[in-house]
Each structure stands twice: as C-alpha cells, then as structure tokens.
Structure 1
Amino acid sequence: MEYDFIYDRDSRRYRLKLATEQAALQQFLLDEFAHRASAYQPLLNQLKALKPYQDWQYQGREFSLLVQQQEVRVCHNSLLATESGELAVQLLPEELDDDLQLDESGLSSECGLADLLLLLQAWQEFLPA
C-alpha cells in the first residue's frame, strides 16, 4: 500500500494521503482519531492482538472497520445493513430517474491486515506524541 504523510506548516495540520481506492480508509483514520500518535494506540493494540483468522469490528462515528480472515474492510456506516454484515443498497423511490445510482466510491476500502498494521505504525511515528 502506498501512502504519503504531509505536515502543512501553514495550517499546522498532519495529513495522510492514500491512493484513490483507499479513500474510505484515509477518511476513517483522519476523522475517527485525533491527530496524535497515542490516539491510534488502542486500535493498533486490538489489531495486533487478533489471532489468525479471527473476526473483529470497530464501530466508528461514520466508518466501521471490519477484519475477516486477515482482510480489512473499511466502509461507511450507511452501507452496513444487518448484523450479518451484508452490504445493503438503500432503495431509491420509484419516481426517481432510472439513471440515478448510489455512488459507493469513497465509501468502502479493502486491504490486508499486515498492510494496515504497517501503515498505522508508520503514521504513528510521523505524528506528534
């Protein structure tokens, strides 16, 4: 997974830049946690403690992180439907144009658990304590 860490001196903000297909993961990490290394430690500890092929879920304010069989999926909470974990597309009213579709880009990302752990550790090292 490719990433860039940026410190904007003008705004004094730390930014994480991931590939377009990882937009949901980027948004999750920037919005759900403070921009301090210590804020990510509980998530990192939990992910490191997972046994091989153990399932786990982190419910955030806007995004959820799901781990299933060493694969990580971050998706917007509006996409989560049932406790079975299946995705649901909310139905649009019939009177709307047939050309309208739900734009799911930026609402869901996937990566391997090992890649996420490497990203989190590097991001923590970049951020202030």
Structure 2
Amino acid sequence: MEFDFIYNTEAKRYSLKLSSEQLALQCFLLDEFEPKASAYQPLLTQLQQLNAQSQYQWDGKEYRLTVQASEVVICHFSLLQEQGIEMELDPEQDLELDQSQLYAECGLEDLLHLIQQWQQFLPT
C-alpha cells in the first residue's frame, strides 16, 4: 500500500494521502482519531494481537473496521443497515452511493505497517 504523510506548516495540520481505492481508510484514520500518535495506540494494540484466524470489529464515530482472516474492511455506517444486533451491507443502498470514501479493503499487515508509520510521523 502506498501512502504519503504531509504536514502543512501554515495550517499546522497533519494529513495522510492514500490511493483513491483507499479513501475510506484515509478518512477513517483522519476522522476517527485525534492527530496524535497516542490516539492510535488502542487500535494498534488490538490489531497486533490478532492472528490469521482472528475476527475483530472496531466501531468508530462514522466507520466500522472489521478484520476477518487477516483481511480488513473499512465501511462507513451509511452503507450498513441495522438488522437486530448485527449490521450488514445493504445492497440497494450500496448501488446508490459513491463508495470511494465509504468502503475500502486491505490486508492486516498493510494496515499495521501504515498505522505504525503514521504514528512515527505524528506528534505524541
């Protein structure tokens, strides 16, 4: 996974740039956490404890991160439909929305590497 880290000195703002296929992941990392390295530590700690058969779910303010068999899915809540306790993709709504900022997939190893590098770039 390719990524760029940017610090705008005028705005004093940290930014992350991922490929267009990974815009939902980019939004998840920028919108769900404060721009401090320590803000990502709870998620990173949980992800590092997973193995190839693990299942994990992190519900943020706007996005859900799901890990299953070392595959990571980032999905905006607008793509999910409440059905009892579990939420699943709503295929009808899925067709109506531009998914570029709403849905992304990547491998667990790629995500771990990205978060670790991002933490090193951010202030503590």
TM above 0.5: yes
> Which residue of 2 is the match for residue 60 of structure 1?
60
Q: Quote the Cα distance in structure 1 between the aligned partners of 2:61 and 2:7.
A: 25
> Contact 2:22/2:100 (CA < 8 Å) preserved in 1?
no
Equivalences for 1:17-28 in 2 at 5 Å?
A: 17-28=17-28
1:42-84 per-residue CA deviation (whole Å, 9 max, x = no partner) reads 0000000113221100001001100011000001011122455
Of the candidates 96, 106, 112, which is equivalent to residue 107 of structure 2?
112
Q: Do structure 1's residue 43 and structure 2's residue 39 form an aligned pair?
A: no
- TM-superposed deviation, 1:117: 0.2
Segments of structure 1 that go 5 or more residues without pairing to the other structure are 92-99
The letter for the 1-side match of 2:80 is L
CA distance in 1, matches of 2:35, 2:106: 22
1:85 CA drift (Å): 5.0
Shift of 1:102: 2.6
How many residues end up aligned between the 2 structures? Answer: 121
Structure 1 moving runs of 4+ over 4 Å: none
Unmatched 5+ stretches in structure 2: none
CA distances 1:1-25 after superposition (whole Å, capped 9, x unpaired): 0000000000000000000010000
Residues 83-122 of structure 1 aligned to structure 2 (within 5 Å): 83=85, 86-90=88-92, 101-122=96-117
TM superposition score normalised by structure 2:
0.91
Higher strand residue share: 2
Two-structure CA RMSD over aligned residues (Å): 1.6
What's the secondary structure of 1:86's corresponding residue?
A: strand
Give the corresponding residue for 1:33.
Answer: 33
**Which whole-Å CA distance do the structure 1 matches of 2:36 and 2:53 have between them?**
30
Distance in 2 of aligned mates of 1:71 and 1:8: 32
